[in-house]
Chain A
Amino acid sequence: MLSGISLGQYIPGDSLLHRLDPRTKVIGVLAAAASILAFANWQGLVLTALLTLIALLVSKLPLGIILGSLKSLWLLLVITFLLQAFLTPGTLLAVLGPLKISREGVFAAGEIVLRLALLILIAFLPTLTTPPIKLTAGLESIISPLQRLGVPAHELALMMTLALRFVPTLLQEAEVVISAQRSRGAGFTTGSPAKWARSLLPLFVPLFAGALRRADDLAVAMESRCYRGGANRTRMNALKFSAPDYVVIGVTLAVLAGVVALRFI
């Protein structure tokens, strides 16, 4: 249940995608998301799909992990497909009692599911190929120009880093607490909603107590090393664009431009 790999967890590797600057990957995802959501028509969608396919092949991620990210949202995909297929009026293909499937409906459903699937795959690519620390460093660098407008870029990035850092820890702790309470006969899944909520107390009280304890310890550890916000902090590993980054950004923006062109010209 909680064991194994959590969704979108970083998979260590040495592919071109792994080595790219995190900012490149964020820009790439934003460009791809913009083209999928806002601009792409059929031809544009095929173009974006090709780009996604190439990115997946380059990433050398195991097929199981890629499919796993889709599997997690399969229900959304299926429901979207059915709604589109049944509720779009047009030339009738088949009738199942009160339900009518139209040719236009099937096409629209296929298109929207493809859009969603592409979006999911693309959104998971950076988290699968980038250590969380690097990814937040990239995000911080991208939003740091907003600091002039009063956006606390460093603090936001730090919060994200800490949150990401503690996800596996909390999962692990949850697993231990569940095991420990099970060893005293706790059942976490039975009974009415009220009973069920109450049965979760043995899990959540220790988990929250643990999170607060950890937060305390972490604050002390940071303060004892004289941490104080973003003022003039430098990075141990400074981010640097190299040739592949420029190529990838160029290609992604070219594809975005192509998609826009296909739509409006």
Chain B
Amino acid sequence: MSSIIEIDKLSHIYSPGTPFQVTSLDSISLDIKKGVFLAIIGSTGSGKSTLVRHFNGLLTPAAGNVRVCGIDTADKKQRRNLWRSVGLVFQQPEHQLFEETVFTDVAFGPRNMGLTEAEITERVHEALRLVGLDPLEAARMSPFCLSGGMRRRAAIAGVLALKPQVLILDEPTAGLDPQGKRQLMKHIEEFRRREGATIILVTHDMEEVALMAERVAVLNRGRLVMEGKPREIFSRAAELTAIGLDLPAPARLIRQLRLLGKPVRTDVLTTAEAEEEIARLLGETQC
């Protein structure tokens, strides 16, 4: 499969030339294939948010190269149009709602794309349905009257309505209840299936990573320290804990069993797999 985002030795420095200078990204190289579900994990301040802001041209490299959909983000003219193909959902996107109704807020992006009214309406309805909001009700509701979870979903719909080829979500489930988290991830999966989009998810939730991601990139202090399939990454438990990260709960349980000397697999990720292993273990000991 071809690459949609190619990052070559990307570095980024905040406030260069002042006493506040911080190197937040240090020579990162990463290839993101078209259509993949990539999770980016790392402790707070590891550079995750800075990295994804390079993907739609909000930030440009201090050194190195970022090519998105074949466009070099250092190219000023082309960079301006990247938002059409790369959707970025910020942390706590519900704080960016501003229109009088949910409908007009979701329509903001499509309108900026210069679509016709009919196309705009269609996209807004589709995006709202995708996140489980009623399009007709949304037309007369102010975003400031919604509950926190609904506002989050309305804000995400505002980006989905752009139908981006690459959808980037920066901690989209932070602060939601477990059911809200599951639903949101389902909506994202549904969008991905329908549009064939590439998904990049920045998260602290390891269960989400285990369940959804096909590839995982691990950042630590601005450096890319691991990249691979979730199963490979989470089998390196010691390295992960050393940089302040954790395993998904099922993997943690199985690792504990392993440390107690039980003969279990090391690459368990999900609850179902853990169940299977434990059942097998119990079956063996009973014989």
Contacts and interface: CB of A to CB of B under 8 A. Distances in A.
| A: interface residue count bin | 20 to 34
Interface string B11-39: 00011011110000000000000000000
Contacts of B63: none
Chain A: interface secondary structure? helix
Nearest to A65: B18
A219 to B, nearest CB: 19
Interface stretch (B90-98, B130-138, B221-229, B243-251): B90-98
Interface in A183-206: 183-187, 201-202, 205-206
A177 B96 contact: yes
A111 B83 CA distance: 52
Contact of B98 (A5, A12, A187, A201): A201
Interface string B80-96: 00011001101001011
Contact of A186 (B17, B84, B93, B112): B112
A240 B18 CA distance: 31
Contacts of A185: 83-84, 108-109, 112-113, 162
B51 interface: no
B65 interface: no
A11 interface: yes
A229 interface: no
B53 interface: yes
B172 interface: no
Nearest to B59: A179
Interface in A69-85: none
Contacts of B47: none
Contacts of B56: 183
B58 interface: yes
Nearest to A12: B19
Interface string A201-234: 1100110011000000000000000000000000
A165 interface: no
A5 B15 contact: yes
A19 interface: no
Contact of A202 (B20, B98, B159): B98
B83 to A, nearest CB: 5
A206 B58 contact: no
B93 to A, nearest CB: 7
Nearest to B164: A183
Contact of A206 (B20, B53, B84, B98): B98
A185 B113 CA distance: 7
Contacts of A11: 19
Interface of B: 14-15, 17-20, 53, 56, 58, 83-84, 87-88, 90, 93, 95-98, 108-109, 112-113, 144, 158-159, 162
Given A64-B17, A205-B98, A210-B95, 9 more contacts: A182-B83, A183-B58, A183-B87, A183-B90, A183-B159, A185-B113, A186-B108, A201-B98, A209-B144
Q: Which 4 A-B pairs have the closest CB atoms?
A: A185-B112, A205-B98, A184-B109, A183-B88
Interface of A: 3-5, 11-12, 62, 64-65, 176-177, 179-187, 201-202, 205-206, 209-210
13 contacts: A3-B14, A4-B18, A5-B18, A177-B96, A180-B88, A181-B96, A182-B83, A183-B88, A184-B83, A185-B84, A186-B112, A202-B96, A210-B95
